[in-house]
Amino acid sequence: MDVTAKDTAPTTILAEPPADRLGVTFGLSWCLLVLTIVFAMLAEIFILVSSLARFRVDYLSEKIDAAHLIMSALEAAPGQQSPPGQIDPKLRDRLLDQADVLGMTILRPNMPPRTLGPRMPPRIPMLYDLRNAMALELVIDALSTMRNPKASVMGVTGLSKADPRVVVEVVLEERPLRNELWNYFNRLLVISIFISVTTAALVYAALQWLSVRPLRRLTASMIAFQKDPQDPRRVITPEVRDDEVGTAEQALADMQQRLRALLLEKERLAGVGFAVIKISHDLKNILTTAQLESDRLENAPNIDPDIKLITSGIVHAIDRAVKLSTNMIRFAREGLPEVRKQQLALLAILTDLRTALQPVLPGASIVVNVPAEVMFSGDPELLQRALENLIRNAAEGGATQITLTYERISADDALIVTDNGTALPKKAIDHLFVPFLGSVKSGGTGLGLPIAREALRVQGGDIVLRSTTAGVTIFAVLLPVA
């Protein structure tokens, strides 16, 4: 079938892939959403703990400033009933209660320390100094305060913002600070969750539009094309975009077009091949009959010598035609051979092969030079079949000596086959492993090397032409791997 103009401009049909096969319901999209939320929450956690530490420092700094302010106020406005230079105790207690401070000590340059706080406990279990506190230490202190359910008293030392030369020591209860930290944590947690979910939703929508949707479109096109590769409507139509997705869609479209053309070509060649097989079968029958008649004529008594000579040439030509038809039918009908691997010794395989081939190839000397310890896993029948075809081809190409040596190529074991026959022509090299096209000699079928490569590749090996020059042709046979 020819590819028409309609075939080259298809209308794309994309079947929606089933959800259970592609996992589009709870697959990549949901994974992206969940991962985005998790990563956003992790970032918010780092922000949250640092914010809690900052909130605690600000809270305690306010208490320090409030204590300095209270001391300044009390010193500036003494009570009416108090002696001169004394602080009114009622005003003192009222100001300390309003500031939630149990007591304080003010250290000023060139002045003696001054302490206020009739309710200060004799022992303060926890002391903190904000002047030289590290960031990690502040975070740990904030979390410890939140985790401590028992009410206790804490002492805090810091510098006054109003006068950095003044050192203020404040004694206060920890419970109010703990309550404020938890209230701040709850507010910040709600905001963090909202930010994380909102960010995740936006990232999810962007990734869904930019990546997941094109990926689902590519997958749907592959599934639809797989169902019917010869349908031109199932070839994807690439979107106009310059990113990686556009490149992938264009590459997929090109691959589908080439694959579809190859399938159409294969179908056409299959029809031609089937016709050739039928013709070859009928031709073989006709030639067999002609061969029998030629044999009778050649063996007839009292036949003229000139006629017998001509008959002999006819018989030889008919033999070649029958052999060609037989090989063509066998090659067309045979499928991939069945592989039965086992541990093999390379030297033993080659020795048996030389024993079998040397009598039928008297004009070529087969030399085996491989170590006895080389072992590999392969099918002995397929390997002998491949090597036999290779050696026969070399002998038929005029080689008088064929040498088999072992070589290690990277991580592969290789058998190097070297012969001193004529160099291969360029046409033969270009079609060396193509059936019916790689023959060098006149009347050859061109099936020896293709059959050898198939027998090696089906069990994990290969054969390549390393070089060919006048008098030296080298093939590398990569032995099968386990």
Dump pLDDT digits (tens) for 214-263: 888 888 888 888 888 877 788 888 888 777 778 888 888 888 888 888 87
Same domain, 349 and 457: yes
| Residue-range definition of the domain harbouring residue 317 | 254-334
Q: What would the pLDDT profile of 283-307 be if each residue is shown by its tens digit?
A: 666 767 766 766 666 676 766 666 6
Co-location of 414 and 276 in the same domain: no
Q: Are residues 293 and 368 in the same domain?
A: no
Question: Which amino acid, 420?
Answer: N
Domain shared by 382 and 294, yes or no: no
User: Greater confidence, 353 or 275?
Assistant: 353
- Asked if pLDDT for residue 64 goes beyond 60, the answer is yes
> Which span out of 184-188, 191-195, 238-242, 335-339 was modeled with the highest average pLDDT?
184-188
Task: Please give the average per-residue pLDDT across 402-429, as a whole number.
Answer: 87
**Residue 66 CB: number of other CB atoms within 10 A?**
19
Q: Could you tell me the two tokens for 91?
A: 């005003």
Alpha-carbon span 319 to 415, nearest angstrom: 35
Among 334, 369, 390, where does a domain finish?
Answer: 334
Asked if residues 480 and 414 have their Cβ atoms less than 8 Å apart, the reply is no
- The reply to whether 157 falls in a domain is no
Shared domain for 388 and 310, answered yes or no, is no
- Is residue 430 situated within a structural domain? yes
The per-residue pLDDT for 323 is: 61
Residue 394 contacts residue 402 (beta carbons within 8 Å): yes
Are 181 and 54 contained in the same domain? Answer: yes
Residue 131 within a domain: yes
Going by C-alpha positions, the residue among 152, 174, 193, 171 that lies closest to residue 56 is: 174
Q: Is residue 225 part of a domain?
A: no
Beta-sheet pairing, 342-345 with 375-378: antiparallel
Q: How confident is the model at residue 11, as a pLDDT?
A: 42
Buried b (16+ CB within 10 A) or exposed e, 378-396: bbeebbbbbbbbbbbbbbb
CA distance 222 to 14: 9
Asked whether residue 214 is assigned to any structural domain, the reply reads no
Nearest to 342 by CA among 375, 373, 370: 375
Q: Out of 309, 334, 359, pick the residue that ends a domain.
A: 334
Q: Indicate whether 244 belongs to any domain.
A: no
Same domain, 50 and 95: yes
265 and 134 housed in the same domain: no
Q: Which of 307, 334, 361 is the last residue of a domain?
A: 334
Same domain flag for 84 and 50: yes
Gap between the Cα atoms of 111 and 166, Å rounded: 10
Give the separation between CA 230 and CA 222, rounded to whole angstroms: 13
Closest to 133 in 3D by CA, of 46, 61, 67: 61
Output DSSP code: residue 10.
P
Mean of pLDDT values over 81-99: 69
Measured N-to-C along each axis, helices 89-98 and 28-76 cross at an angle, to the nearest 10 degrees, of: 170
Is 364 in the same domain as 442? yes
Contacts for 247 with CB less than 8 Å, ≥ 6 apart = none
Contact call for residues 176 and 184 (beta carbons, < 8 A): no
Q: Which of 402, 395, 385, 396 is nearest to 450 (CA)?
A: 385
- Read off the CATH number of the domain in which 422 is found: 3.30.565.10
146 pLDDT above the threshold of 80: yes
Q: How does residue 347 score in pLDDT terms, banded at 50, 70 and 90?
A: very high
Position 416: which residue type?
Answer: I
pLDDT value for 196: 79
Whether 110 maps to a domain, the answer reads no
Q: How far is CA 377 from CA 193, 340, 342, 345, 459, in A?
A: 61, 10, 5, 9, 9
pLDDT tens digits, 441-469: 555 566 778 888 888 888 888 899 988 88
Residues 34 and 81 in one domain: yes
Does residue 55 belong to any structural domain of this protein? yes
pLDDT exceeds cutoff 50 at 3? no
Return the pLDDT at 8.
Answer: 40
Q: What is the mean pLDDT of residues 53-79?
A: 83
Give the confidence band of 183 by pLDDT, cuts at 50, 70, 90: very high
What domain count does the chain have? 3
Are 295 and 358 in a shared domain?
no
In whole angstroms, give the CA distance from residue 116 to residue 120. 9
